[in-house]
Structure 1
């Protein structure tokens, strides 16, 4: 396959550039990412639709990847409970090498084609669930092996990759291919490819949560009230939705412990 993610950068002699030149050129490259994501919306829509269908019937969403890709999956999964008030086992991110690999690379963890599916057994993954492989190159053995095993087990599978016609895409029933071109630093897929993956994961999880009823209007009515900033946001949402005073909104929130419940009980 032709790996665009490994192609030579459009820039050279980076060490001779000024700070301003480096920043400007990185920003110039980054501007191409949203356009590449836009071209992939039909693929993203197909995958998200399959995810929503499974989750409405009690399934879970799993992300699996290595390195930057694995970390991005964990990031997206970890933000769903506080943002949308869902259980921590609705969206699960897993990285090659386990939790220690979140902070420090685990050598050769991504090269084991059998380990990915073995690791997922910890969660009793089954045919109700969806597995999305994340791999900028689209060639990560750890991810390919997990997707192939998931297909054999009857799961819905998808991926987010940044090369066309990759082995990861071939192993996915719903591939998403976002081709952003060569990186500013040759092969450094934490840059444009990572940005593209982050955008796509945001789109998938946010759309799924909206479809699952976890947003009202445009508000996070099920968010966890885990700090003063979020409590204040909750009070404002209640005020906006019901027209009550700030004091009354705060009373409702303290009583019911939930923005949604406060709004519902105010109107009942």
Structure 2
């Protein structure tokens, strides 16, 4: 099949992206020893946090908008292909156990679907129609948030998904690792983390993937902090799913309340393994039902449930 002028333009544009260019500094990596190569990669990776720091104002604005939507009952969706999509799947999967969010609150839409989670599914990232269709199939609307991830900033599946989400009134965020991208133009909030060239030319699972993970860490974690899922710096909405997490929960309760280990364990058991409920029980001397009622009145925010005003209001 002959190449069209449109194809040639697309190929030329791709070649100009910093994440695609071969960097002369790394031209001899195939001849380096293991330790020297590890140092080279480590030095390259060390530049990523600075690249993220450069976009913190834009990122903070986007997160504030995400918080507003989710506080009003909306959902958060990440959309990506390849490495970006798998980074998104990982971040979304961690929200329910860490913050006790329902599975439908934060989820990832990956080009190629579940089959692409463990490897490449040929051609799916180029399917713009599939990207738009995935947004429609998920019923995305004005209450929701869609974050598109593409290191190049031009992946058709992701760009089309963000375009469709914005058409439907959703809040849209575009996260890319190049400047002036198509994805940025389509999204309401553009976050361009300019990581530069990769040690292995075009391998965006390296610095670009690291940058995307750092940004998604901030989006999900800061959003949950702002929604009251964290007390001080404790993950008090964590699900207690195994012995390690049970031990962590008991330590959290003890550190927050000053209770000894047996008292913290007893409260956690009486609370049905709900950390916030156990803390309120100990701090306010109430049973689990009353602790749950106070937390409900405080919209699940532990700090509010523990305030003197809250105590006075419920005892009046």
TM-score (ref. length: structure 2): 0.83
Match of 1:266 among 282, 289, 307: 282
Match of 2:310 in 1: none
Match of 2:59 in 1: 44
Question: Deviations 1:129-162 (Å, cap 9, x if unpaired)?
Answer: 0100000010100011111111111111001100
Question: Deviations 1:80-121 (Å, cap 9, x if unpaired)?
Answer: 111111111111111100001000210000001111121233
Find the residue that maps to 2:194 and give its secondary structure: coil
Match of 2:6 in 1: none
Q: In the aligned structure 1, how far is the partner of 2:127 from the partner of 2:115?
A: 17
1:90 maps to 2:105:
yes
Q: In the aligned structure 2, how far is the partner of 1:32 from the partner of 1:96?
A: 29
1:122 maps to 2:130:
no
Q: In the aligned structure 1, how far is the partner of 2:242 from the partner of 2:136?
A: 34
Find the residue that maps to 1:226 and give its secondary structure: coil
Question: Deviations 1:189-240 (Å, cap 9, x if unpaired)?
Answer: 0000100110010011111000000000110001010111110000001101
1:7 maps to 2:24:
no
Match of 1:141 among 122, 144, 156: 156
RMSD over aligned CA atoms reads: 0.9
Q: Which moved more, 1:100-109 or 1:115-124?
A: 115-124
Assess if the C-alpha contact under 8 Å between 2:48 and 2:210 holds in 1.
yes
Q: Structure 2 unaligned segments of length 5 or more: list them.
A: 1-12, 285-316
Higher relative contact order (CA 8 A, sep 6+): 1
Question: Deviations 1:223-258 (Å, cap 9, x if unpaired)?
Answer: 010111110000001101111110111111111121
Find the residue that maps to 1:189 and give its secondary structure: coil
Q: In the aligned structure 2, how far is the partner of 1:249 from the partner of 1:138?
A: 49
Using the TM superposition, give the Cα deviation of residue 183 of structure 1 relative to its aligned residue in structure 2, in angstroms: 0.2
Segments ≥4 residues shifted beyond 6 Å: none
- Aligned pairs for 1:49-198 (under 5 A) are 49-198=64-213
Assess if the C-alpha contact under 8 Å between 2:140 and 2:168 holds in 1.
no
Assess if the C-alpha contact under 8 Å between 2:63 and 2:223 holds in 1.
yes
Find the residue that maps to 1:137 and give its secondary structure: coil
Higher Rg:
2
> How many pairs are equivalent?
268
Match of 1:242 among 249, 257, 263: 257
TM-score (ref. length: structure 1): 0.98
Q: Structure 1 unaligned segments of length 5 or more: list them.
A: none
Using the TM superposition, give the Cα deviation of residue 21 of structure 1 relative to its aligned residue in structure 2, in angstroms: 1.0
Q: In the aligned structure 2, how far is the partner of 1:239 from the partner of 1:140?
A: 49
Q: In the aligned structure 2, how far is the partner of 1:244 from the partner of 1:232?
A: 14
